[in-house]
Chain A
Amino acid sequence: MQAVCSDYLIFDEENGVYVENPEQVVRDDVEKHHWLNVFRAVVKDWRLYLMLVPMILVFLFWRYFPMYELLGCFKVTDVVKPVSDQFYSGFSYFNTLIFGEGNPGISADFWRAFRNTFLLSFYGLCFGFPMPIIIALFFNEVRSNVMRSIYQVITYLPKFMSTVVMTSLVMMLVKQGSTTSGMGILSQFLVAIGAVDQQTAFGGLLNDPTFFRGIYQISGIWETAGYDSIVFFAAIIAIAPTRYEAAQIDGAGKMAQMRYVVLPSILSTIIIMLITKIGTLLNIGYEKVLLLYNPKTYMTADVVSTFSQRNGIAGTMQGMASAAEMMNNVIGMLLVIGANTIARKASNTSLY
């Protein structure tokens, strides 16, 4: 993606330095000080500005107007009145959520959800992130194009299923039952190899809080690892074959080649992807959790978005629910901006 500052800087090839783009300076000046010229430019180029209008309207109505509804988290929730007519209640919802003022139960729920959100993403980062890289390395070992295409087609496949279908499959595979009837095939397998206790498997693995995170991560890897390896694989095949040959002449074995040729070449891709992942650490997809969890597993499965879905959409505490999600989203935004700044500093590439 292009750096945000690209409008302002152009590369002077003769001297090898970046210089200010004079046209952009003029445009800036016009935008700031010459409103009549702005008006003329818009009138002259009205077709171009008209093209922007539908997109802007859609974003305004369904992305920015909800932000106005966010005012609800500073006001007393009243389902009958619109947000503009509700009374201000200051930071009372935030006080309740963070410090448990007046309603300790909901505060405990919120902190549990917040902790779960963080942990689910963090484990995803630890276990889910390296998998695509490893798979890309393996793809690189497969020399025959036909074989590799077969592997790729098969491993990308789960990515194209919807969350509903994927979660339905998972639910069926670890369904409750007994060894002779009803138990999901995956549960049967896990009991057979002794990975899980028989009684737990009988009750259904998704009804047991200790297994939720594992199921969530493994199904996540199953779904995305193959597809996410595309980026890394593209970086690996871009390595010039001469570099391997040079390493071989110097007597490098396979591991040494990995360490000194492949890894340094794909390091920048890895770092950028990692930073992106850290940036979205708290934006966990709510659909999957919502479809997989149930009251028995709230302890490990309830995340902030499902917490607000339960209280705000299914329940009536809309102010409280908005406040909870807003805290989550603000922290998420700071993470994204921070990650982006680091990426720009570290490698001169900005993600947005």
Chain B
Amino acid sequence: MKKIIALLTASMLALTACNAPATQTTSDRAATESNNVLKFYNWGEYIGEDVISRFEDEYNAKVICEYYDSNEMMYTKLQAGDKYDVLIPSDYMIERLLNEDMLQPINKDEIPNMSNLTDSVKNLSYDSDNTYSVPFFQGSVGIVYNKTKISPEEIKNQGWEILRNEKYKDDIYMYDSERDAFMIALKALGYSMNTDNEKEIDAAYQWLLEQKERVNPVYVTDEVIDSMANGLKSMGVVYSGDAAYVLRENPDMAYFAPDEGTNLWSDAMVIPKNAENPELANKFINFMLEDESALDNTLTVGYTTSNKNVYEQVTADGGDFCDNEAYVIRTDNKKDEVFHDNEVIRAKLSELLIKVKA
């Protein structure tokens, strides 16, 4: 559902180019005169409501927004030669873009707000000193479960294996992507999610086949968000940012990332090599790190902010994400991993997953 709405709004917003029609004419003219245009390519529903218009006013600029719903879609457009000034890809995609020399370094002098970043999102392995990327949102993958049906102890003791507990037959949502499904199986078996070992992959495949046999899980993608918010099933695999939303909507729901480890991911702002307005892009990135923008972003989207002041504010007593365990990203589990893309393995897992489902 979310995807469809995102697509619809995306196409509508693309027409109005992120701008309220009333204010468009004046700033439009000023912007085109000074050639102050920023092309921003972002996930659907992934930015605060007023951030773009405030930026346009403050910098007398015009922002043209486009939206994607997967890293791969963004990559394909970039490959086709489309020019953008700012993108927000995920960690593994930044790694790939860097390997293919498609990004340019950010200008840290222009981005004093880098000092607002939370320590745990800085200097991650895909860009070890943040030369090319500025973290935006971060999160993990875990299980949203109904506290009235499953006790926190039960899920803590069983970990990922609870997704194969016959007690919850027909009562489980799995996430329909090879990366997440195999991450769960590999972690449950104690392997790395980035393995290329045939035996381990085969064991994970068997794990998923057995799971299907035992509990008959339903494989969904974004439908899981509304379904869990409505309490349709006892548990489901959800990204932490979406889980934070579910928890806000439905007080019966709780979030748990099993101790066997999970996938920690982050999305960061980058400037492609062929950007036409890198100067404005740096200003925009700096603007996104301001407290006011970061607050708007995290409250609208529900994903965990990279801004430490805002993080403290919203998780403090009385804050919007106070006691919301999905919002707090753990950093102390050694078994948690960052995903690394491997095209050959991904194709293989994709085919194995459709065989699991069939």
- Pairing of A with B: no
Contacts from A to B (Cβ < 8 Å): none
* B residues whose Cβ falls under 8 Å from a Cβ of A: none
